[in-house]
């Protein structure tokens, strides 16, 4: 099986901020399913610049809803109003 091409990514950063409205795409993953994350970003890209109330040019991945079985949700989002 061939390995997909890799890209150098910027190091992740943590941000603290006030309440936010989250708008984007969500998928549930487990510890073995992270390889599908680039495809989720590809599905999200056409929506950038078209989300009502969108502010700024930053796009984020938000990981939440982790459980004991190792499942978690990833929200790809653009900062909203």
- Which of 1-10, 13-22, 67-76 is the most confident on average? 67-76
CA dihedral (43, 41, 16, 66) in degrees, to 10, reads: 90
Distance of CA 42 to the CA centre of its chain: 11
Strands (E), the chain: 22-29, 59-64, 72-79
pLDDT of residue 80: 52
Collapsing DSSP to helix, strand or coil, 4 comes out as coil
Domain extents in the chain: 22-79
Residue 77's pLDDT band (boundaries 50, 70, 90)? low
How open is the CA angle 30-80-10, to the nearest 5 degrees? 55
CA-to-CA distance for 25 and 76, rounded, in angstroms? 5
């Amino acid at each position: 099986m061939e390995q997909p091409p890799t890209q150098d990514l910027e190091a992740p950063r943590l941000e603290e901020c006030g309440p936010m409205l989250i708008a984007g795409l969500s998928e549930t993953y487990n510890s073995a399913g992270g390889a599908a994350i680039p495809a989720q970003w590809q599905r999200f890209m056409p929506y950038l610049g078209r989300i009502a109330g969108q502010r700024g040019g930053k796009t984020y991945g938000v990981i939440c809803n982790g459980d004991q079985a190792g499942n978690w949700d990833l929200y790809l989002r653009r900062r909203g109003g």
